[in-house]
Amino acid sequence: MKAFLVFIFVIGLSVCVSAQEIPQSQVPAAVVSAFQGKFSDAKNVEWETKGELYKAEFKMGSRGHDVWLDKNGMITKHKEDFPKSNLPEAIQKQIANEFNAFTLDDADKIEMDGQVFYQVELDGTPDDRKILFDADGKIQENTID
């Protein structure tokens, strides 16, 4: 399972590199309809293609969101800005114990394949870190950022 998640994460990063912005008029109606049905309060929506997927970048309230949808309008991944103070206790403990030389800079909540993950960015010397945790606080990915 862990290898699968790492594979999905790496594929997601590589797809991100080849993004192309497009106007909403070029997004299939099924994708726009599914998006608007789920995120009717979305503001400042920007669309991109990422391989076979469509990515909507938008704001809801004060939080930024990224949602990836397939051509049929199925959500494959949802990432949202997440308050650092609201991270699950298990993740906060992991950071305090294993990464106490770092400063927590940013946090995102990611929903993918029915699972919830938290990605945190840690500032440190000589390098910064990007850590992906599962909801139980287990490290799934730890990369130099």
Q: Is the pLDDT of residue 85 over 70?
A: yes
Q: Tell me: the pLDDT tens digits for 7-63?
A: 455 445 444 446 899 999 999 999 999 999 999 999 999 999 989 999 999 999 999
CA dihedral 116, 119, 120, 121 (to 10 degrees): -170
Q: Where are the domains of the chain?
A: 2-77, 84-144
Topology (CATH) of 2-77: Nuclear Transport Factor 2; Chain: A, (3.10.450)
Six-digit token string for 33 = 């309809």
CA neighbor of 106 nearest in space, from 90, 122, 91: 122
84-144 belongs to CATH 3.10.450.360: yes
- In the numeric block, the tokens 């840690």 are attached to 122
> Do the domains at 2-77 and 84-144 have one common CATH topology?
yes
